Structure formats: structure tokens, C-alpha cells
Amino acid sequence: MTASTGAASSEGLRLAEDFTMPVDMVTSTFAILGKKGRGKTHCASVLTEEMIREGVPTCILDPTGAWWGLRSSADGTAPGLPVVIFGGEHCDVDLPETSGTIIADVLIEQRFPAVLDMSLLSKSARRRFATEFLERLYWKNRLPLHLCLDEADEIAPQRAHAGVERLLGATEDAVRRGRIRGLGITLISQRAAALSKSVLSQVDSLIVLGMTAPHDISAVDAWVGQHAEEAQAHEVKATLPALPVGEAWVWSPEWLGVLRRVHVRARTTFDSSATPKTGQVRLQPKQWAQVDVAALAYRLADAEQKGAETDPRRLRARVRDLERQLAAASEPPPPREIEVEVPVVTEEQTAELDQLVGRLEQVAQASAESAQALAEALGRARPPAHDAAPAAPAAEPEADAESLQAPSSEVTPTPTSGNGGLGKAEREILVALAQHGPRTRTQVALLTRRSHRSGGFRNALSRLRTAGLVEGRGEIAITEAGRTMLGGAWQPLPTGSALLEWWCRTLLGRAERTILTELVRCWPDEVSVDELAARTGYSRASGGFRNALSRLRSLELASGRGSLRAADTLAE
């Protein structure tokens, strides 16, 4: 593999047998638009072949896995172009979603042609890779380099939903201001109407193949109408629906000053984007152009090491990690957690256990009440003392039934004169409603670490309703009287990252903490259940993993089924 020099020959870029463009156009912006099956990728491949043969470093962002054929000849029997393939099913080198900056550095330094095959990455992973790659390429490149963006409407959409804004901004920078940094761009799309108008308006040369959708034709007509005479624009618009496969209109008002209909020449490399036909044996290349993968791997490793040493994000993360270690060293070690796999309990078994717990709580409460009554009776029966000895200290009151339960990890508010008459269960229910707002009975039970079917929990809710401290059945809310009774013995919830720490410290088990932290890291993107299990090291079929997902949904910390997304309140 040899680095491209960028030196241009005098032959130019031969798009058709009778149509050639100057090599200097490699730093301009092209748009190749056309309906699926009309030769859009074929036309872009011909243009790419010409640029690579002229010594121009050319890179293709390929989300569909259709460009690997550049490495072999048209019939597959001879080597093609020495293009390095990153990622995909025919890769020379892997393409991790986190390698955008590193690969951009290597391409800028070594200046060789490459295909970045993103077809095996998820949609969110493709966006993350493309964002880092385009940002780095724009800020660091200074010599001629051409970039082909296949399916450009995915990278620069007209309607950018949440999570795509940064990628769209990086694309706009490369298209609008990339020429001064040596960057040329080719935008390839079958949906002209779906492509960002702010990006499409910066195109220097438009190559349009056949299309039939009225919205796409209107988008092309708007562009041509700004640069051509009315009669020319009408001719282009009228011919687009019936334009034969392989024929295209080339409109270059500034560079060439032409509006011309051409027949794109045949490819000299293997057509790996061809649609397979029924009953036809798909041809596979037998000869490939050789590239020095070993040398490339060494360069990538060296670039990765240099990037790790100077990347501001990694340095900031390292500083934060050291600060956490320093803070942890001054605190006592946390209790050791032992993870135990527990078999999933059936619905019937859960209901039966809840009934038993309820009966036990009722017995405990009755016992406590009986003990209190007996103590009062003994007090009345005891003869009064006649000596002047000081009275013995009053006996501590008996603990109520709820206090027999395991202590909650929630910080218990200190009783004040405003809530001294509340039992532990009633007090924790009021704190949960004051902090989280109206919640269902199941959610309130989760927030107080109780079973919503238990007698103690139901009795506590009943006492609060009777006293007018809470209201509602399907959804329970604290009343003004409840807030007055609670007084200042509670703290509002924090926000942003502090809120995530609060949940992890207070109410979530290890599985819920691990899953929620990963979802917040990926926010605002959704993460599929399969990918989430792989990232957190759990089995998708395990009861612990499924129960953790269910608990996060019940607490409204995550939403979704096949794919999950963290609640907006947890992200800064």
C-alpha cells in the first residue's frame, strides 16, 4: 500500500466516453441523485475510479456494504484498485464505532484510498463513528482529499431528530467550508427531498439520474431553477421520470458552465452493488488488489496510542477517575456485595408469599397493640409511689409492626413536631410522594421497599387516606395537610447526574444500577435489549436481568420494550 501524492495527470475525470471534467474538481462538492436502480452508485463508482487513478486520496463512507468491489476488476479475474477496506464482510481492518478519530488521523497522514464499511454497525453506532470521523477530518486535513457520503440523507437529513444534530453540523462544516481545507465531497442519495436543503444548496455540480417521486423531482427542480434558464429547467424536469438507466444530467454552473445529458461509462472495477437476479449465480471476484495490512495495523496502533495520550476527553476522564479514587481512599470501604442468581418466582408463588407476609404483618401489628394495651393496664393497676425518690425513666414505646421489617436504604427523615405522630410506613410513604409527585400504589411500594399487596402497606395507606394526608386510588398524591404533617423532614430530589447517583445509592440493586448507567451513557439514543445485555454482561434470558428491566420501567427510569431509553430527567 502506497500513499497517494495527490498529483493530477492531464487526462481529467472521464465520467462518459464524450465527457471529461478537470481534476481540480476533486475539491468541489458533487451531488449524485437518482431513484433506486437507476445507476446512482454506478455513477459514483466511476467518478471514484477516476479520482483514485489520478492519485487523489478518496474515502467512501459506506453504510450499506456496497463498495468493496473497487478492489477487483470488472469481471473479477484481475486486481482492481488498492483500496483499504475498513469493517464489513470483506474487511482488511476492523471498524469499531469508537475509531472515527483514529482512522481520520491515519488517512490524513498516509493518504491512501479507503472504504469505511459501516454496514455491520447499528444505526446509532454508525452515527457516532461518522460524527467523530467528519469532525476530525474537517479540523485536521489540509491537502486535497475527496470524501464520498453514500446514503447522504442518513448523515445529513432534512429533518434532524434528537441525536443527529452534531452529525448534521459536522457534515455542514465539511460541505460548506471544507474546500479551503482541501476537502471535496460527493453526496449520494436516492431521496433528494430527504437531504438537508442547507447542504444541497452548497453543491457545485449536480448529477441527476432517473427519478419519479414528485417531492424528489421538486427538490432537483428548485436547485436547477436557481442556476438555469426556465426552458432548461423545464427540459430537465420533464425527462427525469423516463431517463434510461445509466443516463444522467450533469449541471455545473460555476466550474464548467454546462448543463448536459450524458451516458455514464462502464465501470472498470467489480460491481458489488448490483442487485442479484433470480436464478442467476452471483459472480465472486477471484483476484484482489494487494494492500499492506500489517503496516496499516502498525500505523493504526501507533495513532491510537498517540490519540490516547493527547485526547482531551480521555484526559478529562482520567482526571475524574483519579479524583474518585482519591475521594474513595478517604472513606471506609463499602459493604461487599455478593451477587446470587435467584430462580424466577412465578406469579402464583408471588401472590401466595404476599398473602403470607400480609398475615404475618397483621399478627405482628396485633401483638404490638396488645403489648401496648397491657403496658397501659399495668400502669393503671400499679399503686402510686409515696416517697420523694425520683421517678424512673419512662419506658421506651414498643416498636410498631412496620419497624420489624428490614431497614430501607432511603434516608429516614428525623421526626419533628410536625410528623411525630406518624408511623414509619406512613412517614416513608409521605416522603416518597413529596419527592416524586403522584404515583401508583405499585410505584409507591417500590419507592418504600414494600410489597403493594402486604397488609402493613395497605393499612398504612388507609390510615393516611383517613387522616386526609393522601388522596387518590389509581394514582396517589400527597395533600397539603400531608405536607404540613411531614414538615421539613425531607429533601427534594437532585437533578441531572446527581439524580442518577441518588437512585443508584438509594433504591437500585446492582443489576438495575449497571443497566441504568449504560442507558444514561447512551442517552438520548435507545439501546436494544440484546445490545444492553451484551454491554452489561448479563444473559438476556436470566430472571435477574428481566426483573431489573421491569423494575426500571415501573419506576419510570427507563421506557420501551424491544429497545430502552433512559428518562430525560437523568441526563444533564
Query: In order of start, what are the domains of the chain with their CATH numbers?
Result: 13-272+288-312 (3.40.50.300), 348-362+402-492 (1.10.10.10), 497-570 (1.10.10.10)
When pLDDT is averaged across residues 143-151 and rounded to a whole number, the result is 96
pLDDT over threshold 60, residue 407 = no
Q: Please state the pTM of the whole predicted model.
A: 0.55
When pLDDT is averaged across residues 396-417 and rounded to a whole number, the result is 38
- Residue (of 517, 506, 532) closest to 566 by Cα position: 517
When pLDDT is averaged across residues 154-177 and rounded to a whole number, the result is 90
pLDDT over threshold 80, residue 303 = no
Residue type, 16: A
Report the range of poorest mean pLDDT among 51-60, 75-84, 118-127, 364-373.
364-373
User: Which strand (E) or helix (H) includes residue 64?
Assistant: none
pLDDT over threshold 60, residue 275 = yes
Most confident of 147-161, 333-347, 388-402: 147-161
pLDDT tens-digit readout, 506-544? 888 888 888 888 888 888 888 888 888 888 888 888 888
Q: Which residue has the higher pLDDT, 402 or 342?
A: 342
Burial of 486 (0-12, 13-18, 19+ CB in 10 A): buried
pLDDT of residue 56: 95
381 falls in which pLDDT band (50, 70, 90)?
low
Q: Which residue is associated with the grid cell 419510570?
A: 556
552 falls in which pLDDT band (50, 70, 90)?
confident
Residue type, 464: L
Q: Which residue has the higher pLDDT, 60 or 346?
A: 60
pLDDT of residue 389: 41
pLDDT of residue 53: 94
pLDDT of residue 434: 83
pLDDT of residue 181: 94
572 falls in which pLDDT band (50, 70, 90)?
low
Listing DSSP states for 149-214 in one string gives: ETTHHHHSBSS--TT-HHHHHHHHHHHHH-GGGTEEEEEEES-GGGB-HHHHTT-SEEEE-----H
* Dist CA 328 CA 326 (whole Å): 5
pLDDT of residue 59: 97
pLDDT of residue 360: 79
The three cell numbers locating residue 240: 427525469
Report the range of poorest mean pLDDT among 60-64, 205-209, 438-442.
438-442
pLDDT tens-digit readout, 313-331? 666 777 788 777 777 776 6
pLDDT over threshold 70, residue 423 = yes
Report the range of poorest mean pLDDT among 195-204, 262-271, 330-339, 556-565.
330-339
Q: Which residue has the higher pLDDT, 420 or 494?
A: 494
